[in-house]
Structure formats: C-alpha cells, structure tokens
A = this chain, B = another copy of it.
C-alpha cells in the first residue's frame, strides 16, 4: 500500500468521523502504530489535521459535538449552515451579513472557534456575546427594525476599513445575469461593501431564491466564490456551476 493511499484514507476518515485513533488506523491500514504516527505527523506538518495524544482531530472546528452528532436536522437553513461551517478556521476574520441563515450559522459556532467577527446584525451580536472567545465588532449606525441590522454611512465606513478573509452573505435574490440583488437600497449598499471588503464571498441561499431578482444590485454573480444551498443537485443551480462558482 502506497503511503499516499494511507494519508488519503486518514483524511477521509477524519472528515466523516471527526476524529481518528492511532490504534484504529493501525488496524485499518495494517501497518504499525509507529507508521500511523509518522503519517499523522506529516499531515500535521502540512496543516491538514491536528495531532493529539492517541490520534488526531480536524484542524477546523467540529460541526457537531462528539456526543450528539447523531441527530441531523432536516431544516434547510441548518443544513446550509453546517456546510458553511467547514470554511471557518481559527485565526480568520469574518464578515457576517444579517439574516436568519447567518444567524443559524452563528448558533453552530463551536466554543473553541477563535475568530474575529464583524457584523451589522443585532441578533448575531447578541448571540456571539455568549461565545467564550470570539471577538465581535459591530458596525454602528441606525438600526432597521425589520432587518434588525445597522445601516447607513457609518456602517459602510466601518466596513470599508475591514480586510476580512470571508464574507458570508445572506441572500434575498440570486440570478445568473442580474447577480445578487435586494429589496432595499440601503441594505444592498451595505452588502456591496461587505463583499468588497472580503477576500472571499460565500453566499447562503436556499434554492427558492435562485433565478429571482429585486430592484437593487449588491454584486455581480461572479463576485461570489461559493454558494451554499440546501440542494445543490437541482437544475436551477446549474447556471452558477457553469459560471465556475462552487456550489455545495
């Protein structure tokens, strides 16, 4: 058996089980624990996992607790949020748009996730205040009662100062040619700046938002790097894949 096959097996097992044990791997791969240890060592060196006594755990936080990971929610938003979690890693700076999708994501944040969050959403700030380690920056401004987010010039100014790794965008409407659009001019402006201030943009969009358009433009469809959706196999997502956007 090639070494690469072992490494591949280890990473795959890690992805499904969220942990690997040296004793198990030694048995699975029919090699000594020393060899497994050296394999884990090399994977740890390239940052693909974290080696711990007795085995290894993923570098990125675990989507669900080790105990109750059995209960998979059917809920679309929850489903999307779980997929989005994989993009988060310690040390990152994240912009979080308002909306229920992003709020669901925030609720899944594991306690040991060390990131900085910039957001204009009041519910997200309330939720993250409970989090033990995440640093939260709220973009000031007039609070919209419907959207429960801050808006206006001050919000935009603060966002312009940010260089984030990822922007998670809650989506109103998504269209292959019209791009991302919204119902309110002010909110669309804020979202635009969020996209511009992040290195990468990940849109959270249920499939029913796809192929629709609203009056105010947020960004071009090609500004999106990834679309997280509840069902990436539907025909309505095809146009986005063809544009080279990752859809999961």
Give the interface of A toward B (CB within 8 A): 1-5, 7-9, 11-12, 14-15, 19, 21, 28, 47-49, 52-55, 57-62, 65-67, 110-112, 122-123, 125-126, 128-133, 135-143, 145, 148, 150, 154-155, 158
Contacts of A60 in B (CB 8 A): 132
A48–B110 Cα distance when bound, in Å, is 12
Contacts of A62 in B (CB 8 A): 8
A71: min CB distance to chain B, Å:
14
**Judging by beta carbons under 8 Å apart, are B122 and A143 in contact?**
no
Closest to A12 in B: B65
**Judging by beta carbons under 8 Å apart, are B110 and A129 in contact?**
no
A146–B54 Cα distance when bound, in Å, is 37
A158–B66 Cα distance when bound, in Å, is 28
Contacts of A148 in B (CB 8 A): 129
Closest to A119 in B: B143
Closest to A62 in B: B8
**Judging by beta carbons under 8 Å apart, are A130 and B2 in contact?**
no
